[in-house]
Structures are given as structure tokens and as C-alpha cells.
């Protein structure tokens, strides 16, 4: 199977608490040094909401709940 036939799905979140938005300083190949929201690729068998929770734990060391779906788009 060629690479262009694989479906890649990502999920991201903007974390807001007490009127404040949590941003993370990015490392690596994608916008190194810039601030942004968390996110990553959806793993096989995982829902986008599960992805966001996992990424928050992996990237920021925090557990999040009370998620609200806002938008979906195609690139």
C-alpha cells in the first residue's frame, strides 16, 4: 500500500480553565519554539477525545476532563 492511501487523523485541544488558555512551547520539527495547543495523531482504535486526553498527559503531564467537541475539518 502506498503512503498516500493511508488515512491520517489528528486531534487537538485548546485547554481553558478559569478564563486562562494553556499553551505549550513546541519542540521538534513542527514549529519548534512556537507556542500552541496540544494534539497528535489518533492511534488505531482510539477516539479523538481519547487522543486529546492521552496527548495532554504525554505532552503536559496533566489530566483533562469536561471535553467539548467544537469542530472538524478536512485538510
Q: Tell me which residue of 18, 33, 26, 14 sits closest to 59, measured CA to CA.
A: 26
Q: Tell me which residue of 23, 16, 17 sits closest to 38, measured CA to CA.
A: 23
Burial class (CB in 10 A: 0-12, 13-18, 19+), 2: exposed
Q: Check residue 2 and give its pLDDT.
A: 59
Q: What is the pLDDT of residues 19-55, one digit of tens each?
A: 999 998 988 777 889 999 988 999 999 999 999 999 9
Tell me: pLDDT of 1 over 60: no
- What confidence tier does 8 reach under pLDDT thresholds 50, 70, 90? confident
CATH number assigned to the domain covering 3-60: 3.90.79.10
Please, which residues have CB within 8 angstroms of residue 17's CB and are 6 or more apart in sequence? none
Amino acid at each position: 500500500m502506498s503512503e498516500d492511501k493511508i488515512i491520517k487523523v489528528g486531534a487537538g485541544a485548546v485547554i481553558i480553565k478559569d478564563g486562562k488558555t494553556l499553551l505549550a512551547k513546541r519542540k521538534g520539527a513542527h514549529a519548534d519554539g512556537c507556542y500552541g495547543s496540544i494534539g497528535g495523531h489518533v492511534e488505531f482504535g482510539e477516539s479523538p477525545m481519547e487522543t486529546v486526553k492521552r496527548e495532554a498527559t504525554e505532552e503536559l503531564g496533566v489530566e483533562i476532563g469536561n471535553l467539548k467537541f467544537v469542530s472538524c475539518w478536512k485538510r
